[in-house]
């Protein structure tokens, strides 16, 4: 156990001891999980699905500088690495668990002594305004973060509302403090990221302003309103890159006590009489619409309330979301469970003002009528389990997310649903058009009802000819490798996506569209090479790629995965896939080999998303394409093997530790996988109403469903040893199917698993016990 | 007569001949006046007070590059110099007659042949998309402009609505044409002016987009919607300065037929099948709010109407504004008169969408309730005669302009009325806070009624301590020269401005404020050096500047003027000023000397606003501070001298010629001076209801007043020789006062001047005939 890990565990245990009397779900959450290494989570304060994630940034490194890629930039997607020894400051927006970075908007840092207007470097913190800190002084719980800034002796406490970050700084006695507002700072802070920034000192306790950045979000408008509990004594700023022309403004002494500041690289400071009043509370409200919107948000959410009231409200908000689950387990299991739940509710995030105004994809200001607008849709990841999870636990939120996606499509000049929506921008990250899956799943599960509107958006999205090979795909049935580097994986992804459109067309009663997309859903067949039993990219002339390595991640026509993993990506027609792989025997053999092989490092050494830590054999859990694969045994005569491998993955990939996530959390997808798998079932094919059964991880779990009913999942005696399902009863009746439906779950009741140390090899074998498959074989 | 001038005259005469049958006021306007040299007017198409001025740009040169001032940049304030031989393209926003440059937004240029995406240089037009042209093919009338682009054989026709520029391009037979949309182009196009630009190809006949620029308007948002009469065949673009990071957009072939383009330096092209259909009509609507706003403006103003219908509507709009005046005079006099009238109605300009939304000074989107929002307030110039002129002829417009200024103050973080309002920005150009004069004048003349709101804005504006010496001014009664390079002129300007606040406080019944500002209005006295009889800057210690040259424009404490001119700037207390100058005898002698002296070039050689052409003796008409000076004889026993010098100025400074303006038209100020002076009276002291009488310039003028009554001004036989007023009758009664009131004018009727070749030296001599003066001498 390394020192860092020891500290975290001690903190958790201390917390557990203190509140043993009335331990609430919120008390189990450990936001530090995943903050070191690959998890890309952040420790700061936020509210469920809130716009603001107010968190310390320990460094910010641009991904590339003048075209040169900087390797460790990847580690700063959330602005924080636990191993770091300094804090640059506290910024208001953070992505949770992504594999690409942006945001870190509106950084504040308190300080005493000389005013420094640059952050300084990690190894030379005294160069700038950053400060050293010790994790021993750090406390991170849902909605609250605190730390001592050692260089200044300042105690920093953070909390948040949906749209407001609240800072409380306690300055050392007798010293005059200042506050740095760095409008240059950003995660992914390449030179030139800030297109324009503006700051107004409205009065001595109110600042407003905005900045426009060109980052992963191509044009990101962040307006703010900052209220201060103490009047500013005096203030000033530095413009680190003066614009060529600043007109007749030059007649003013702009640098000192001039209330209006505009430019590309503005860092401002504000001095306070903290010698007499050591506490400074700063409330920072955001808006993507206007400073007027930010002020509205500030007033609606944070004005007139003390820091302590707001921190308590954030804690209560989190607890009300988390307490839908009651579980039995070890402290580590509880920490992991509730932290996972916490991580499923950070992104997607609300993206509209309290009055419903929001900035759309077309940069126009829209009014959300009858729904809440969301952004941060990491759909290549989250269509798999995050959105299905929300359909189960937060259907109202997911319905609004679906509506937000449809509005995105309507505002898109391409007529496309989001691929990766980021602060009202499309960043086109990753492949497929998986928003269609989210829409179909929400419709299938009765969460979203405007089927015609959804279908129109889905059809439009899936027929944009210039998007990643769609024109060829529609003509040839596959994307040729000579046209796209991800030809094979995208073909597989489109085929599944098209199946969700087929399902939706059936719901809409539109037979013509249904038939079109039923055929498209079978396109996965076009790139299966039955001679090897794997997916294999083809060229435009129809020939398969000649030199071909099914284990290689690079250059073989797949994105972030090799053919071995990706070939299983036919969640909507598993029987068809089994046939193409050579029948059940070969199929099970391939699955077995996947989980037990040794994958040499050369196959993933250049992929930042794949490390030894996230591998189980050749199965890559740290990246998403295989997340459903452990469940595929359900379609075979050896479903018990899922039960074995799932527990292996759960144990290896999820730990109550700074390094506790076996890969980027990816906006809740890794966590949602965990939660489903802990419950004992998983949505292998979103768009069906089926969850495929694995095995429960904990002896007891009770979920309060959105309709008020409860679902209990009992697995007495379950353990690493007793991991196999012997039998299952649903509300007292023996249940032998390998899936359970959403409809059944919503009825509530009890799922009672009998667990054992050896598999029951006779369960779930008959055809009617098997989960959904579009066909029963390739000849259908 | 040079060739250029000859051509213009021929054009005018030809037009006059053609429409002799039913010549309308609009037919007399010659937009070419002032388009060469110093006038800084533009020849293109616009509507009265419209947002859009669609006009050819012949070049655009930044004022300074890397800090180095470029002399001839000044000449391109309106984007056009008549002497130039090439047209770069047609852009949609132009300032009329300013002495600083900006705008030139959204440039379109049609072409055939190779697609060129840079403008090329004037001497090498074939390098770029610009084209040679011949003035013989040019036609410029109100609301309409046409020209043949020689390099392409394309006929370009332009017209406009309030918010939309309409282009009609006729391509040569059988050639495929294209359209360049240059989002880099701008007047004052320094490198880096464009902060961000966006373009969306919504469909094959609709483009939307916006750009944000940092120019004289520090942060200028120009959104647009462009409708095309022909579908685009294909299109593409070049980004001349790729942003460092453009994320996953790189997966697309962005440069060709990709419908969304964003960056700093975007030039796009669109190809059309003009071989089959040679006419292309392009409608470009602007908004400062959003592309949605631009589309609304497009639909409300231009959709469903042919180019010809819109051109005719623009002509009709202009004619309805111009026909309030009927005059007798020579064709040149009529051209000059109606062109001046035209020039008073270009700026200020409407700055809101058809639905009342506009971008305020705080960059928030506001809704104009019950008024029309305007921008482009060149107040150092226009408070003098332009706004008073609008009070007389367009009081509704001026009331809305006043409301727009008050809203500006309310949105200002400084709490200041506009100094120079430009597209929702304050550019701080020139000195004083003369918006207060505009407010006071509108209140005095019954045009604006919310006195309390106005007074609050005026007091707030005049007490901002960090604005150009106000703190010292309030403490010492003057601005010390050691604090400001314009200490003396600003003190004089503030004193007059403060008098207008005094007047408004009286109206509001607020005695305390009135008394404060009455005292401030006398502050002009603090910097009069009675030993020399001129204004002279003082230092903080009270001492006068020692080395002092009353003729020198530079370094003596005055802005754009010397002490000799500026010392007369006490329009609100002429008698007090006369005393300080040493009594009437000395005063008249100084006036006489001003108009008749020879001013050596060394006194103005570095001032771009003063040239030999704009001088009458040492009187500088091309610049504003002395505009009221010729009327100051009215307070003396020799008022007839005004009549002499006014006609000198009118003759010398205003000509129906490309070089016809004796200085920048300054957003209508020069033209409004002309119109008042032609009528025979001038608002020497805006804020009083008095117009000081000079002498009519034309034998007959009839004005239809806003209340429907008519005012006739008769001066039979007036000529350069018979320039002196012998007597005056107002509605048949002898009228001997040296002023006439606004109230009297509004009653309508006839002002009948009897003119003669020798002055009547006995008129207007008694004290009751004299115009307003705050005091009758310094001891009061």
Structural domain contains residue B332:
no
Which is it for strands A131-132 and A86-87: parallel, antiparallel or unpaired?
antiparallel
Structural domain contains residue A346:
no
Q: Do A168 and A55 lie in a common domain?
A: yes
Find all residues with CB under 8 Å of B577, minimum gap 6, and list them: B524, B528, B567, B568, B570, B587
- Closest Cβ opposite residue B290 in set A64, A364, A427: A364
The whole-angstrom distance between residue A637's C-alpha and the CA centroid of its chain comes to 35
- Closest Cβ opposite residue A216 in set B247, B253, B427: B247
Structural domain contains residue B155:
yes
Cα separation, B74 vs B606, whole angstroms? 13
Q: Do A363 and B291 touch (CB under 8 A)?
A: yes
Tell whether B291 is within 8 A of chain A (Cβ). yes
Residue window 424-453, chain A: list those with CB within 8 Å of chain B. 427-429
Work out how many CB contacts closer than 8 A connect A with B: 135
- Structure tokens given for B489: 């002129």
For B602, counting Cβ atoms within 10 Å of its Cβ (0-12 exposed, 13-18 middle, 19+ buried), the class is exposed
Nearest Cα of chain A lies from the Cα of B481 at a distance, in angstroms, of 14
Query: DSSP string of A719-741?
Result: -SSS-EEEEEEETTEE---SEEE
Residue B252 banded pLDDT, cuts 50, 70, 90: confident
Q: Do B447 and B481 lie in a common domain?
A: no
Structural domain contains residue B74:
yes
Q: Do A244 and B190 touch (CB under 8 A)?
A: yes
Domain CATH for B174: 2.70.98.10
CB B631 within 8 A of CB B694: yes
Helices A395-411 and A435-444 meet at what angle, rounded to 10?
140
Domain CATH for A763: 3.30.2080.10
Mean pLDDT on B232-245 = 85
Tell whether A548 is within 8 A of chain B (Cβ). no
- Which element (helix H / strand E) includes A260? strand A260-263
Total Cβ atoms within 10 A of residue B342: 28
Nearest to A105 by CA among A33, A32, A197: A197
Residue B436 banded pLDDT, cuts 50, 70, 90: very high
For B746, counting Cβ atoms within 10 Å of its Cβ (0-12 exposed, 13-18 middle, 19+ buried), the class is middle
Residue window 24-63, chain A: list those with CB within 8 Å of chain B. 62-63
Nearest Cα of chain B lies from the Cα of A602 at a distance, in angstroms, of 26
Q: Do A701 and A630 lie in a common domain?
A: yes
Residue B580: pLDDT over 50 = yes
A191 contacts on B by Cβ (under 8 Å): 244
B279: β partners: B170
CB B643 within 8 A of CB B724: yes
Tell whether A193 is within 8 A of chain B (Cβ). yes
B292 contacts on A by Cβ (under 8 Å): 362, 364-365
Looking at residue B320, the DSSP 8-state letter turns out to be: H
Domain CATH for A492: 1.20.1610.10
Nearest Cα of chain B lies from the Cα of A265 at a distance, in angstroms, of 13
- Structure tokens given for B686: 């805006």
Q: Quote the pLDDT of residue B604.
A: 82
Peptide bond into A347 cis (omega under 30): no
Residue window 249-278, chain B: list those with CB within 8 Å of chain A. 249, 251-253, 257-260, 262
Question: What strands lie across the sheet with A377-378, from one edge to the other?
Answer: A377-378, A420-422, A425-426
ipTM over 0.85: yes
Nearest Cα of chain B lies from the Cα of A215 at a distance, in angstroms, of 7
Nearest CA in chain A to B220: A196
What are the pLDDT digits (tens) for B20-39? 456 899 999 999 999 998 89
Query: DSSP string of B281-296?
Result: EEEEEEESS-HHHHHH
Tell whether B200 is within 8 A of chain A (Cβ). yes
The torsion angles phi and psi of B609, rounded to 5 degrees, stand at -95, -5
Q: Do B427 and A247 touch (CB under 8 A)?
A: yes
Helices A331-343 and A307-322 meet at what angle, rounded to 10?
100
Cα separation, B294 vs B162, whole angstroms? 12
Q: Which residues of chain A have pLDDT under 70?
A: 1-22, 62-71, 244-246, 778-780
A195 contacts on B by Cβ (under 8 Å): 195-196, 212
Cα separation, A319 vs A317, whole angstroms? 5
Q: Quote the pLDDT of residue A63.
A: 58
CB B213 within 8 A of CB B220: yes
Find all residues with CB under 8 Å of B138, minimum gap 6, and list them: B43, B145, B146, B147
Q: Where does a domain end: B268, B302, B322? A: B322
Cα separation, B304 vs B315, whole angstroms? 18
Looking at residue A543, the DSSP 8-state letter turns out to be: P
Residue window 362-381, chain B: list those with CB within 8 Å of chain A. 362-365
Cα separation, B110 vs A180, whole angstroms? 51
Domain that holds residue A422: 357-464
Residue B505 banded pLDDT, cuts 50, 70, 90: very high
Block residue for tokens 């700051």: A199
Most A CBs within 10 Å: which of B99, B244, B264, B422, as the mutation test of the A interface? B244
Q: Where does a domain end: A322, A346, A377? A: A322
Cα separation, A214 vs A189, whole angstroms? 10
Cα separation, B271 vs B291, whole angstroms? 23
Question: Max CA-CA distance within chain A?
Answer: 87
Q: Quote the pLDDT of residue A248.
A: 80
* SS3 label, residue A142: coil
Cα separation, B271 vs B738, whole angstroms? 65
Q: Do A63 and B245 touch (CB under 8 A)?
A: yes
The torsion angles phi and psi of B16, rounded to 5 degrees, stand at -60, -40
Q: Do B557 and B673 lie in a common domain?
A: no
Q: Do B127 and B73 lie in a common domain?
A: yes
Find the length of chain A.
780
Residue window 56-95, chain B: list those with CB within 8 Å of chain A. 62-66
More confident residue, B73 or A674: A674
More confident residue, A622 or B322: B322
- Closest Cβ opposite residue B251 in set A202, A292, A428: A428
A65 contacts on B by Cβ (under 8 Å): 244
Nearest to B441 by CA among B485, B403, B384: B384
Q: Quote the pLDDT of residue A68.
A: 59
Q: Do B364 and A260 touch (CB under 8 A)?
A: no
Nearest to A245 by CA among B417, B615, B62, B526: B62
Structural domain contains residue B24:
no
Q: Do B294 and B389 lie in a common domain?
A: no
Helices A3-18 and A331-343 meet at what angle, rounded to 10?
90
Q: Do B291 and A193 touch (CB under 8 A)?
A: no
Most B CBs within 10 Å: which of A77, A247, A380, as the mutation test of the B interface? A247
Nearest Cα of chain A lies from the Cα of B596 at a distance, in angstroms, of 35
- Closest Cβ opposite residue A259 in set B202, B215, B413: B413
Structural domain contains residue A222:
yes
Mean pLDDT on B499-509 = 98
- Closest Cβ opposite residue A428 in set B243, B249, B362: B249
Nearest to B188 by CA among B37, B56, B63: B63
Q: Do A476 and A587 lie in a common domain?
A: no
Total Cβ atoms within 10 A of residue B126: 12
Domain CATH for A407: 1.20.1050.60
Find all residues with CB under 8 Å of A536, minimum gap 6, and list them: A488, A527, A528, A529, A544, A545, A548, A557, A563
CA dihedral (B315, B316, B322, B326) positive or negative: positive
What are the pLDDT digits (tens) for B516-558? 999 999 999 999 999 999 999 999 999 999 999 999 988 999 9
* SS3 label, residue A156: strand
Find all residues with CB under 8 Å of A49, minimum gap 6, and list them: A162, A345, A346, A347, A348, A349, A350, A374, A397
Q: Quote the pLDDT of residue A619.
A: 95
B245 contacts on A by Cβ (under 8 Å): 62-64, 188, 190, 193, 214-216
What are the distances in angstroms from CA A160 to CA A47, A138, A141, A283, A302? Answer: 6, 17, 12, 9, 9
Q: Do B198 and B261 lie in a common domain?
A: yes
* Domain count for chain B: 4
CB B128 within 8 A of CB B114: no
Find all residues with CB under 8 Å of B165, minimum gap 6, and list them: B45, B52, B54, B90, B92, B158, B159, B283, B284, B286
CA dihedral (A147, A152, A153, A155) positive or negative: negative
What are the distances in angstroms from CA B443 to CA A559, B395, B516? Answer: 71, 11, 20
Cα separation, B716 vs B703, whole angstroms? 17
Q: Do B420 and A248 touch (CB under 8 A)?
A: yes
What are the distances in angstroms from CA B648 to CA B652, B677, B773? Answer: 6, 11, 27
Q: Quote the pLDDT of residue B66.
A: 57
Q: Quote the pLDDT of residue A92.
A: 98
Q: Quote the pLDDT of residue B21.
A: 52
- Closest Cβ opposite residue B247 in set A210, A212, A218: A218
Cα separation, B407 vs A96, whole angstroms? 42
Total Cβ atoms within 10 A of residue A471: 15
If you average pLDDT over every residue of chain B, what do you get? 94
A210 contacts on B by Cβ (under 8 Å): 363
For A304, counting Cβ atoms within 10 Å of its Cβ (0-12 exposed, 13-18 middle, 19+ buried), the class is exposed
Block residue for tokens 């010549």: B23
Cα separation, A576 vs B286, whole angstroms? 56
Q: Do B192 and A243 touch (CB under 8 A)?
A: yes
Q: Quote the pLDDT of residue B367.
A: 98
Structural domain contains residue A446:
yes
* SS3 label, residue B149: strand
A703: β partners: A325, A711
Round the CA-based radius of gyration of chain A to a whole number and report it.
26
- Closest Cβ opposite residue A468 in set B62, B251, B290: B251
Q: Where does a domain end: A577, A594, A619? A: A577
Q: Do B455 and B519 lie in a common domain?
A: no
Residue B9: pLDDT over 70 = no
Nearest CA in chain B to A192: B244
Total Cβ atoms within 10 A of residue B277: 12
Q: Do A475 and A519 lie in a common domain?
A: yes
Q: Quote the pLDDT of residue B190.
A: 83
The torsion angles phi and psi of B352, rounded to 5 degrees, stand at -160, 160
- Closest Cβ opposite residue A215 in set B192, B218, B245: B245
B212 contacts on A by Cβ (under 8 Å): 195-196, 212
Judged by phi (left if over 0) then psi (alpha if -120 to 50, else beta), residue A12 lies in alpha
Q: Do A572 and A607 lie in a common domain?
A: no
Q: Do B547 and B634 lie in a common domain?
A: no
Nearest Cα of chain A lies from the Cα of B196 at a distance, in angstroms, of 7
Structural domain contains residue A691:
yes
Q: Quote the pLDDT of residue A245.
A: 66
């Amino acid at each position: 156990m390394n020192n860092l890990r020891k500290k975290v565990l001690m903190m958790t245990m201390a917390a557990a001891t203190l509140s043993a009397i009335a331990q609430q779900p919120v008390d189990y959450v450990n936001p530090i999980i995943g903050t070191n290494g690959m998890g890309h989570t952040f420790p700061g304060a936020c509210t469920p699905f809130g716009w603001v994630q107010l968190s310390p940034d320990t460094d910010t490194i641009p991904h590339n500088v003048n075209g040169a890629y900087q390797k460790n930039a990847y580690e700063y997607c959330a602005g924080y690495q636990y191993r770091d020894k300094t804090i640059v400051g506290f910024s208001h927006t953070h992505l949770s668990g992504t594999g690409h970075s942006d945001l870190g908007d509106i950084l504040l840092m308190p300080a005493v002594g000389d005013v420094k207007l640059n952050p300084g470097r990690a190894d030379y913190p005294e160069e700038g305004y950053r400060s050293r800190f010790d994790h021993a002084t750090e406390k991170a719980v849902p909605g609250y973060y605190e730390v001592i800034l050692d260089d200044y002796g300042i105690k920093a406490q953070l909390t948040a509302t949906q749209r407001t970050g609240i800072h409380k700084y306690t300055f050392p006695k007798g010293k005059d403090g200042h506050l740095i507002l760095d409008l240059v700072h950003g995660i992914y802070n390449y030179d030139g990221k800030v297109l324009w920034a503006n700051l107004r000192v409205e009065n001595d306790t109110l600042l407003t302003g905005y900045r426009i950045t060109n980052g992963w979000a191509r044009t990101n408008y962040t307006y703010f309103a900052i209220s201060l509990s103490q009047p500013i004594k005096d203030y000033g700023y530095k413009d680190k890159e003066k614009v060529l022309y600043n007109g007749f403004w030059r007649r003013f002494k702009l640098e000192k006590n001039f209330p209006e500041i505009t430019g590309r690289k503005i860092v401002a400071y504000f001095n306070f009489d903290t010698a007499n009043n050591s506490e400074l509370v700063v409330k920072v409200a955001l808006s993507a619409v206007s400073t007027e919107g930010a002020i509205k948000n500030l007033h609606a959410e944070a004005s007139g309330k003390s820091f302590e009231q707001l921190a308590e409200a954030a804690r209560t908000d989190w607890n009300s979301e988390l307490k839908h689950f009651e579980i039995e387990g070890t402290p580590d299991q509880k920490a992991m469970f509730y932290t996972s739940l916490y991580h499923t509710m950070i992104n997607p995030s609300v993206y509209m003002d309290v009055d419903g105004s929001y900035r759309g994809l077309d940069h126009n200001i829209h009014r959300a009528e009858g729904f809440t607008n969301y952004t941060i849709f990491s759909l290549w990841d989250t269509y798999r389990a995050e959105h299905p999870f929300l359909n189960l636990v937060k259907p109202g939120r997911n319905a609004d997310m679906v509506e937000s996606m449809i509005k995105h499509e309507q505002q898109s000049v391409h007529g496309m649903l989001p691929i990766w929506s980021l602060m009202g921008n499309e960043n086109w990250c990753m492949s497929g058009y998986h928003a269609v899956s989210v829409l179909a799943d929400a419709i299938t599960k009765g969460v979203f009802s405007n089927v015609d509107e959804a279908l129109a958006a889905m059809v439009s999205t899936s027929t944009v000819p210039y998007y990643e090979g769609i024109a060829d795909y529609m003509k040839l049935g596959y994307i040729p490798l000579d046209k796209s580097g991800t030809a094979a994986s995208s073909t597989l992804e489109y085929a599944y996506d098209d199946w969700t459109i087929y399902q939706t067309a059936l719901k809409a009663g539109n037979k013509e569209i249904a038939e079109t997309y039923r055929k498209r859903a079978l396109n996965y067949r076009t790139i299966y090479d039955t001679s090897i039993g794997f997916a294999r990219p083809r060229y435009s002339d129809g020939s398969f790629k000649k030199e071909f390595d099914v284990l290689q991640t690079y250059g073989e026509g797949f994105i972030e995965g090799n053919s071995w993993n990706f070939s299983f990506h036919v969640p909507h027609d598993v029987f068809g896939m089994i046939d193409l792989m050579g029948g059940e025997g070969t199929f099970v053999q391939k699955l077995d080999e996947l989980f037990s092989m040794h994958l040499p490092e050369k196959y993933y050494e250049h992929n930042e998303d794949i490390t030894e830590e996230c591998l189980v054999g050749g199965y890559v859990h740290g990246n998403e394409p295989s997340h459903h694969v452990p469940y595929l045994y359900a379609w075979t005569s050896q479903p018990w093997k899922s039960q074995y491998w799932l527990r292996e993955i759960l144990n290896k990939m999820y730990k109550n530790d700074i390094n506790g996530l076996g890969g980027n959390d990816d906006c809740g997808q890794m966590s949602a996988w965990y939660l489903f798998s802990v419950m004992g079932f998983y949505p292998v094919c979103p768009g069906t109403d089926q969850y495929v059964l694995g095995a429960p991880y904990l002896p007891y779990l009770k979920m309060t469903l959105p309709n008020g009913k409860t679902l209990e999942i009992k697995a007495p005696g379950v353990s690493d040893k007793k991991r196999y399902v012997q039998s299952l009863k649903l509300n007292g009746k023996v249940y032998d199917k390998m899936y359970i439906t959403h409809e059944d779950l919503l009825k509530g009741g009890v799922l009672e698993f009998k667990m054992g140390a050896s598999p029951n090899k006779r369960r779930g074998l008959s055809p009617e016990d098997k989960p959904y498959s579009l066909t029963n074989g390739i000849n259908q």
